[in-house]
Amino acid sequence: MEGVQIGDSKVKLKGSLYGLQITHSQGKLGMNQASKELRGERWNMENEEMERTKGRIAYDDEERGMILELEEERKKKRADEVVCEKLHNERRRRG
């Protein structure tokens, strides 16, 4: 298979029964550098995706349901606090 460019490094990918074998032209030290560069590239792509979707947070259905439940609980708790506060103020006023 042809060499693949990852950052400044060039690696060779070879399929086998045991999965994907990666060899680097500069041996293990070069392989570690290529791995770091690959992680850096992935981090950059994730960062760019976050920038593109800024303000539009994507949740899966389960997370969305949990968030809605939490918001409802907060609203109920706040409503209870308001009612208690009003009762307390009314008692003080009469008291």
Query: For 40-49, how does the pLDDT look when each residue is reduced to its tens digit (9 = 90+)?
Result: 666 667 777 7
Is the domain of 39 the same as that of 1?
A: yes
The pLDDT of residue 1? 47
Q: Are residues 81 and 52 in the same domain?
A: no
Give me the residue label for tokens 């290529």.
Answer: 34
pTM, rounded to two decimals: 0.33
Structure tokens at 73: 């609980």
The reply to whether 49 and 67 lie within a common domain is: no
Structural domain span for residue 64: 59-95
Whether residue 34 is found in the same domain as residue 72: no
Residues 43 and 76 in one domain: no
Clarify whether residues 50 and 87 are in a common domain: no
3-state secondary structure labels for all residues of the chain: CCEEEECCEEEEEEEECCEEEEEECCHHHHHHHHHHHHHHHHHHHHHHHHHHCCCCCCCCHHHHHHHHHHHHHHHHHHHHHHHHHHHHHHHHHHC
What would the pLDDT profile of 17-26 be if each residue is shown by its tens digit? 555 555 555 5
Split into its structural domains, the chain has a count of 2
Q: What integer pLDDT is reported at residue 67 of this predicted model?
A: 80
